[in-house]
Chain A
Amino acid sequence: MVVMKMKFPFQKRVKLAQGLWLLSWLATVAGALTFTLGCILKTELRRRAEVMDNTEIHAVPNTLMIVGLASLGINYFAGRICQDALDATRFPRWKNVLKPYYGAACFFTALMLLAVIMSYAMKGNLEASLKIGLKNGIRFYKDTDTPGRCFQKQTIDRLQMDFQCCGNTDFKDWFEVQWISNRYLDFSSKEVKDRVKSNVDGRYLVDGVPFSCCNPSSPRPCIQYQLTNDTAHYNYEHRTEELNIYVRGCREALVNYYMGLMNTIGIGVLSVFMLQSSVLVSLRLLQTSMEAVVGQENVEVETEGYLLEKSVKETVMEYVDPVLKFLMLNQVADGEAAPSAPKGA
């Protein structure tokens, strides 16, 4: 049972070849675009790498870059093949190349789709990574004299100002951490000694936040210290007052930012995926219809083109069987034969 059999009179073949040539150039540009999008995403992720705990999320832009480069090659060859396809004398030289070519092409196209799916699926991963990274950033905020951590303060300050956020989950995260370094605390003062003693770990905790949490849109000059003390400021009730610091947490802000970016990129990559698939399908149809012409005297005869000679399942088994036999011969311990990516015949 042949998959997608279509009749191709001579004129239709010619038009298919012309259309395919044009499509392949468009797809080449699209491939370059995918590569660029991958680079952009990677750059953005690296800018805030200091507040991320791991680099697993970088798999998404890496995949996009690989796929972009690969599609450049795939589409270039698609253009060359279709140029030769209408010439019966030059077409046969591509015969041996075609099977591995289709295999590689389908693999990378599937990878493109995988990248899009990953960009949505890795949200949880990104969030967890940010949670840990921000927690550390806030903890080491005061360590501006410790090598390796001396830029944490600047990083966190700029992050909070750029993304208009405060703390990890919200601004109260700053109350649980000593973010004022001991170098700037007067340990001879009673107030400082009291605070330090009242705490189990001997930390100087304040109900205040750094200046980078201040919201410029607030009509009131920024109140950053003694936030829970109503008497410390005139006309201030911390429960009802619309605080003039940012209330949302930086984790949420960053996740929203990156998910927005990845969504936009995902839509672009999806359309590139459609384009790429159509290029491959057209190329396959052109190839099969031209194969029927080879050896015939009248080149303009009508032929049939198809996608797969046998049904999908049979084709897949055709490729998987040798792999299975290979694996079973070697007596792999688990006995599981994980099928390799299905190769289009």
Chain B
Amino acid sequence: MSYSASEFSGPFPEAMALLKMKFPLQRRVRLAQGLWLLSWLAVLSGAFTFCLGVYLKTELVRRAEVMDNSEIHVVPNILMLVGPGGDRHQLVRGARDSLDPARFPRWKNFLLPWFAVAALLCSLLVSAVVLSYALQGHLEESLKVMDNSEIHVVPNILMLVGLVAIGTNWFAGRVCQDSLDPARFPRWKNFLLPWFAVGLRNGIRFYRDTDVPGRCFQKETIDRLQMELRCCGNNNFRDWFEVQWISNRYLDFTSKDVKDRIRSNVDGRYLVDGVPFSCCNPASPRPCLQYHLLDNNAHYNYEHQSEELNLYGRGCRQALVSYYMGMMNTIGLGVLSIILVQVGDPRCFGRVFISKYVTGESEGCSIKCRPYQVSVIASMRFLQTAVEGAMALENPEGESEGYLLEKNLKDSLLDLQVTVLGLLKMGQVGPGADGATAEGEGAAATAATTTATAAAEAGEKPAN
């Protein structure tokens, strides 16, 4: 317990500060160094995220025609925005300057708002991810009716996730990452499936309209899609039997066969039991049979029930979903790990809380946790408070204390509430609205309020 820390922190009991830890000079130095390294790693991770976003975007653009809308592009757009977050550099320098007492003060005004923003965005992020999973069931329902207006909810949520990641994606480091649960990702499947169904259905319907502007490339798109992903039709090759995929321009209407087929159909469509060539499987030992698939007599040594492999067996919807699922899984793992770095390893905080508040050890986390397990936000906060404490000491190289929040959580929230109310009243009450000059502490912006104790604090705070 250092003399200057209590003088510095104001007239309230020290034990009320949230997660107070001791910081001798060596530990401060190490914290700053580790933080600097983490900042640079975060820059790399940001670049990586950007590349992932670009990759996902190009893949989606390639298949744009079989997706009914372009809302899903939000995901890669976000990743691309997230990537090159310019403020990382600031924080790298901030971490470096923190140990230089001459240069540190210039970061002070920058750090406190940053903490507020970062913590706010972190909570937004978590809630956004939760919401996006929760709304899947609702989406599936609405999509069955093929009305896509409600699908906007999901990409908007994803946009929020991305914005949060922009704010908090400033550091990256090693992740205590057991918490990434691969079992959560299959739930994305139900989210992607309906999107593709609509696009593919249209693609097959308009396959023959190569002379209609706006649809003239459907044929090529579907053909290339089926060849590349090795799939046929929407659910399987029989989808082609239900659609007229041969244009009337190539049908001889004077021929008896054509006239019979058209008459036998209610809508006057020319339906064949055949598929386009792009369904053919090159791995089949037999030259491709694409017409008269249900007619055993049309081909020698052919039984359509037992014949296998000549066409691709799986549907393109399934193929597309598997393809993008794989990609999203990888990207999702990366993004979630970055999120985790912000929040830190929950186990570490669990230990801290237990040891400090349950078993009553005063040292708390200092024994059990290593620096990288504490989140970057928290370590930045510790560094800032520790250095500020050290600067106020007579001997700057002595031991100081660092903490997360000056008061405990409940009091900080109360202060925040007062600040917000003060801000809201600012327009009405002219003078005495010191809320405008509030300096943030942790997640809350504790403000100078009109109360006496707060005013005393406010008098001391500008001295930081």
Taking beta carbons and an 8 Å cutoff, which residues of A are in contact with B? 144-145, 150, 153-154, 157-158, 161, 179-181, 183-186, 189, 210-212, 214, 216-217, 219-222, 224, 233-235
Q: List 8 A–B pairs whose Cβ atoms lie within 8 Å, in order of A's numbering.
A: A181-B287, A216-B219, A219-B219, A219-B247, A220-B247, A220-B250, A221-B246, A235-B252
Question: Is B286 located at the chain interface by the 8 A CB criterion?
Answer: yes
| Structural contact, B220 and A216, CB atoms closer than 8 A | yes
| Structural contact, B216 and A219, CB atoms closer than 8 A | yes
| Structural contact, B210 and A153, CB atoms closer than 8 A | no
* Complex contacts, A211 vs chain B, CB 8 Å: 277, 280, 287-288, 290
How far is B276's CA from A220's CA once the two chains are assembled, in angstroms?
10
- From 78 to 135 in chain B, residues with beta carbon under 8 angstroms from any chain A beta carbon are none
Question: Is B300 located at the chain interface by the 8 A CB criterion?
Answer: yes
Question: Is B147 located at the chain interface by the 8 A CB criterion?
Answer: no
Q: Which of A184, A186, A212, A221 contacts B286 (CB 8 A)?
A: A184
Given contacts A153-B282, A183-B286, A224-B277, 16 further A-B contacts (CB under 8 A): A157-B282, A181-B285, A184-B286, A184-B287, A211-B287, A216-B220, A216-B227, A216-B278, A217-B220, A219-B210, A219-B211, A219-B216, A221-B250, A221-B276, A222-B277, A235-B249
Nearest CB of chain A from residue B179's CB, rounded to whole Å = 38
- From 194 to 238 in chain B, residues with beta carbon under 8 angstroms from any chain A beta carbon are 208, 210-211, 216, 219-220, 223-224, 227
* Complex contacts, B288 vs chain A, CB 8 Å: 210-211
| Structural contact, B223 and A216, CB atoms closer than 8 A | yes
Known interface pairs A216-B219, A221-B246. Does A154 touch B283 (Cβ–Cβ under 8 Å)?
Answer: yes
* Complex contacts, A214 vs chain B, CB 8 Å: 277-278
Q: Contact mask B246-281 → A, CB, 8 Å, 1/0? A: 110111100100000000000000000000111010
Q: How many residues of B contact A (CB 8 A)?
A: 31
How far is B405's CA from A308's CA once the two chains are assembled, in angstroms?
75
**Residue of A whose beta carbon sits closest to that of B216:** A219
| Structural contact, A222 and B250, CB atoms closer than 8 A | no
How far is B246's CA from A234's CA once the two chains are assembled, in angstroms?
12
**Residue of A whose beta carbon sits closest to that of B226:** A216
| Structural contact, A212 and B278, CB atoms closer than 8 A | no
Interface secondary structure of B, over-half rule: loop
Q: Which of B220, B245, B255, B300 contacts A221 (CB 8 A)?
A: B245
| Structural contact, B250 and A234, CB atoms closer than 8 A | yes
How far is B171's CA from A59's CA once the two chains are assembled, in angstroms?
48
| Structural contact, B224 and A216, CB atoms closer than 8 A | yes
| Structural contact, B276 and A212, CB atoms closer than 8 A | no
Nearest CB of chain A from residue B399's CB, rounded to whole Å = 45
Q: Which of A150, A161, A183, A235 contacts B227 (CB 8 A)?
A: A161
Q: Which of B249, B282, B283, B301 contacts A183 (CB 8 A)?
A: B301
* Complex contacts, B220 vs chain A, CB 8 Å: 216-217
- From 283 to 333 in chain B, residues with beta carbon under 8 angstroms from any chain A beta carbon are 283, 285-288, 290, 299-301
* Complex contacts, B278 vs chain A, CB 8 Å: 214, 216
**Residue of A whose beta carbon sits closest to that of B274:** A221
User: Which 6 interchain pairs have the tightest Cβ spacing?
Assistant: A157-B282, A216-B223, A219-B210, A144-B285, A186-B300, A234-B252
**Residue of B whose beta carbon sits closest to that of A189:** B300
How far is B220's CA from A217's CA once the two chains are assembled, in angstroms?
5
Nearest CB of chain A from residue B205's CB, rounded to whole Å = 15
| Structural contact, B216 and A222, CB atoms closer than 8 A | no
| Structural contact, B276 and A222, CB atoms closer than 8 A | yes
How far is B219's CA from A290's CA once the two chains are assembled, in angstroms?
73
How far is B223's CA from A217's CA once the two chains are assembled, in angstroms?
9
* Complex contacts, B277 vs chain A, CB 8 Å: 211, 214, 221-222, 224
**Residue of B whose beta carbon sits closest to that of A158:** B282
| Structural contact, B300 and A212, CB atoms closer than 8 A | no
Q: Which of B223, B255, B285, B287 contacts A210 (CB 8 A)?
A: B287
How far is B299's CA from A224's CA once the two chains are assembled, in angstroms?
16
**Residue of A whose beta carbon sits closest to that of B225:** A216
**Residue of A whose beta carbon sits closest to that of B224:** A216
